Structure 1
């Protein structure tokens, strides 16, 4: 059955950037692990704090800059950024090497009439080709690392580097998201020239089972450039680590990290919190499911709008946001997490 997910409503973005669609068609409720998780819990159940971080960073991206979504899977993050910020926001580039998943990423882009780019390639520290191993557990765990998950099949895929792609295209990346199933160190090694020149913000998955000796070595040049390593959590402010201390904070519940080129400010944390509140309002009750071969209801993705000269939003939306705000307020109490965090913040990409 086709599935559409409600997008988070942020009045500040409406006022500064204009209307954006209220829903996103993700095509199926069961084809991939990500779509199944969205069906079970909406956007609220899929990495909500990571979503909030990426949207808050994209919100401040300079005109003409880009977002790299490395390990994009179905392109959910690229689609969110493209839908919310449109032509006036950063241009998203989704990198996904699995052929079937990259094809689905393109279909989601096209059926929603979004402008992000899809590159069917892996990224590492050297251009060329490599074997991509298909995980028995889930297609979201496919990896260039044969030891990451049990597998019986693989496919040869093209490989490039962040530095090579950026140099060839003349792009200025403002934000880079890296989720490549324990190959993050190689992606970072292939990014040093870009990082030195453009100093992008980097959201990077750091799994407990990765090669932390290799990762520490890869992170050292970033901390030498005064990058801070911050675990992305519902609580704020986020503690700053370096390559010698971060390991103690890596866990199954804290796997996405912000590698920040500048100190994090109260304004940044407020922006993340505002997005988190809006995302938590987009739970499974806000999903739109259409019977096979049927159309979604009329106006299913009609844009959110703020009446000119006001900041009013629909009362039903305000009620949803108020409920999500209560969850977020409880989440920022030290030592406490969002209720149901075991489900809501569980990663399908393991």
Structure 2
């Protein structure tokens, strides 16, 4: 227990984590020493290619971004290594196709992390974009991404859930993409208190017209949907949600969404994706596990757009700034 609390304390504060690693590189392996070549830098600075279809005539947004983000965050490490070409390519292509084919309105990126989806929406559309991220260091990184090339999407320090007030966010020790709200009375260094709100309450205050909603909250996606049912009924946005298996997520999502008459598509394989009558976290690849919830039957032109964006994403690399 003490060891876990100590590890959580070190993980909670980036400067402590960085200093601890700098000390450990000088220790022998038998005393917990680290290989210096595998210790992340304090910051990563790199250029990132953004996708653009070959027949794009709008020329909206930049072709590349120069990013400087904390070195030990998961997504910046992956982007610096392989760019967008290997970062959830099926999900990103479907997201961009939705932006091409839906009516004008706001894009809500719930569980944004450093803001990859928000970045692409802001770079390739003129929609207002809102990135919801309660983890302080991830929200700070998302603001840095927003400032790059004046993308200007809004970062909201808020955890969307099924209640208004506050909640306990548990930091995952080995992957910051897995931070999630938990119900617990025992707090430690692995937990922080964050503001929470329902999507319906937030939207009532913000007065947006949501047309695209992406949800990735590490297992609490049904809570987000439950808190946003009024928004889904009223505005009928396209929804993309991560579905992880074995947490009861599938059953809860189906119970909430079935009355809304959405069409459910696992993002798996080559488009067009096959509509399903059940939502299963194992129906899509483990590295994506994203489902597209369509308020209407996607057209053939929509599936063509998914293919075009997938081809554009294959060309997106990264390099030193």
Q: Sort the TM-score into its range (normalised by shorter chain).
A: 0.7 to 0.9
Distance 2:211 2:319 in 1: 33
**Which range is displaced more, 54-63 or 65-74?**
54-63
Q: CA, structure 1 residues 46+107, in 2 after alignment: closer, same or farther (shift >3 Å)?
A: same
Return the alpha-carbon distance in structure 2 between the equivalents of residues 254 and 133 of structure 1.
22
Tell me what 1:255 maps to.
289
- Deviation per residue, 1:306-326 (Å, 9 max, x gap): xxxxxxxxxxxxxxxxxxxxx
- Deviation of 1:152 (Å): 5.0
RMSD: 2.0
Highest RCO, 1 vs 2 (Cα 8 Å, sep ≥ 6): 1
The normalised TM-score by structure 2 is 0.80
Q: 1:181 to 1:134 in 2, by over 3 A?
A: same
- Give the drift of 1:250: 5.3
Aligned to 2:162: 125
List per-residue Cα deviations over 1:130-179 (Å, max 9, x = no partner): 000111111111111379xxx95111000011111111121110000000
Normalising by the residue count of structure 1, what TM-score does the alignment of the two structures yield?
0.74
User: How big is the shift at 1:10?
Assistant: 1.3
Alignment partners' CA distance in 2, 1:216 and 1:184: 12
Distance 2:77 2:70 in 1: 5
Query: Shift of the alpha carbon at 1:254?
Result: 5.2
**Are the counterparts in 1 of residues 225 and 256 from structure 2 also a CA contact under 8 Å?**
no
Shift of 1:19: 4.0
Does 2:319 align with 1:272?
Answer: no
Which of the residues 135, 156, 180 maps onto 1:98?
A: 135
Listed as ranges, the gaps of 5+ residues in structure 1 are: 291-350
1:171 pairs, out of 204, 208, 223, with 208
- 2:319 matched residue in structure 1: 288
Alignment check: 8 A CA contact 1:56 1:272 kept:
yes
Query: For 1:22, which of 40, 63, 69 is the aligned residue?
Result: 63
Structure 2 counterpart SS, 1:125: coil
Report the secondary structure of 2:245's partner residue.
coil
The 3 A distance-change label for structure 1 pair 130 and 29 is: closer
1:180 Cα shift? Answer: 0.1
Superposition map of 1:1-350 within 5 A: 1-12=44-55, 14-15=56-57, 17-28=58-69, 30-63=71-104, 65-85=105-125, 89-145=126-182, 153-212=190-249, 215-243=250-278, 246=280, 249=283, 252-253=286-287, 255-283=289-317, 287-290=318-321
